[in-house]
A = this chain, B = another copy of it.
Amino acid sequence: MAEYKAPLRDMQFVLNEVLHMDAHYQQLPGCEEATPDMVSAILEEGAKFAERVLSPLNQVGDQEGCQYQDGEVKTPTGFKEAYAAFVEGGWPSLAHDPEWGGQGLPESLGIVINEMVGTANWAWSMYPGLSHGAMNTLDAHGTEEQKQTYLTKLVSGEWTGTMCLTEPHCGTDLGMLRTKAEPQADGSYKITGTKIFISAGEHDLTDNIVHIVLARLPDAPAGTKGISLFIVPKFLPNAAGGVGERNALKCGSIEHKMGIHGNSTCVMNFDGATGFLIGPANKGLNCMFTFMNTARIGTALQGLAHAEWGFQNSLVYAKDRLQMRALSGVKNPDGAADPIIVHPAVRNMLLTQKAFAEGGRALIYFAAQQVDRSALSESAEEKQEAEDLLSLLTPIAKAFLTEVGFESANHGLQVFGGHGYIAEWGMEQNVRDCRISMLYEGTSQIQALDLLGRKILMSQGELLKRFTKMIHKFCQAHEGSAAMEPYTKTLAGLNKEWGELTLKVGMKAMQNREEVGAAAMDYLMYSGYITLAWLWARQAEVAHNALAAGTSEEAFYKAKLATARFYYDRLLPRTKMHADVMLSGADNLLALDSEHFIF
Residue numbers of A with Cβ under 8 A of B are: 5, 7, 10, 166, 169-173, 176, 197, 255-259, 308, 311-312, 315, 319, 322-324, 326-328, 336-337, 339, 341-348, 350-351, 354, 406, 410, 413-414, 417-418, 420-424, 428, 431-432, 435-436, 438-440, 443-445, 448-449, 453, 512-514, 516-518, 520-521, 555-556, 558-559, 562, 565-566, 569-570, 573-574, 576-577, 580-581, 584-586, 588-599
In the assembled complex, the CB of A411 is this many whole angstroms from the nearest CB of chain B, namely 11
Do B418 and A439 have beta carbons less than 8 Å apart? yes
- A424–B322 Cα distance when bound, in Å, is 40
B342, B435, B589: which contacts A428 (Cβ < 8 A)?
B435
| Count of this chain's copies in the oligomeric assembly | 2
In the complex formed, the residue of B with least CB distance to A521 is: B345
A435 to B418, CA, bound (A): 10
In chain B, what residue has the closest Cβ to A168? B419
Report the bound CA distance from A259 to B569 in whole Å. Answer: 35
The 10 A-B residue pairs with the shortest CB-CB distance, nearest first, are A258-B428, A344-B517, A573-B580, A345-B445, A344-B518, A562-B592, A256-B423, A327-B513, A569-B584, A555-B596
The interface residues of chain B lying within 8 Å CB-to-CB of A176 are 323, 336-337
Contact of B514 with A423 in the complex, beta carbons under 8 Å: no
Residue pair A589, B566 in contact (C-beta under 8 Å): yes
Q: Are A435 and B422 in contact (CB under 8 A)?
A: no
Q: Residue of B at shortest CB range from A427?
A: B258
Q: Are B324 and A257 in contact (CB under 8 A)?
A: no
Kindly list chain B residues whose C-beta atoms are within 8 Å of the C-beta of A444. 414
Alpha-carbon distance A346/B592, docked complex (angstroms): 13
| Contact of A599 with B7 in the complex, beta carbons under 8 Å | yes
A435-B431, A436-B421, A581-B573 as given contacts; A592 in contact with B558, CB under 8 Å: yes
A414: contacting residue among B170, B345, B438, B598, CB under 8 A: B438
A326 x B439 contact (CB < 8 A): no
Q: A326 vs B589: C-alpha distance in the bound complex, in angstroms?
A: 13
**Contacts of A10 on B, CB cut-off 8 Å?**
599
Q: Which of B169, B351, B418 contacts A440 (CB 8 A)?
A: B418
Bound-state CA distance A595–B580 (Å) is 39
Give, as a whole number of angstroms, the nearest-CB distance from A12 to chain B.
13
Q: How far apart sit A342 and B514, CA to CA, in the bound complex (Å)? A: 10
- What is the CB-to-nearest-CB distance from A370 to chain B, in angstroms, rounded to a whole number? 26
A294 to chain B, nearest CB (A): 20
Bound-state Cα–Cα, A574 to B585, Å: 16
Would you call A432 and B339 a contact (CB within 8 A)? Answer: no
Beyond A341-B597, A570-B589, 11 additional contacts (C-beta under 8 Å) are A171-B323, A315-B597, A319-B594, A344-B517, A345-B518, A410-B435, A413-B435, A417-B443, A559-B592, A562-B596, A565-B591
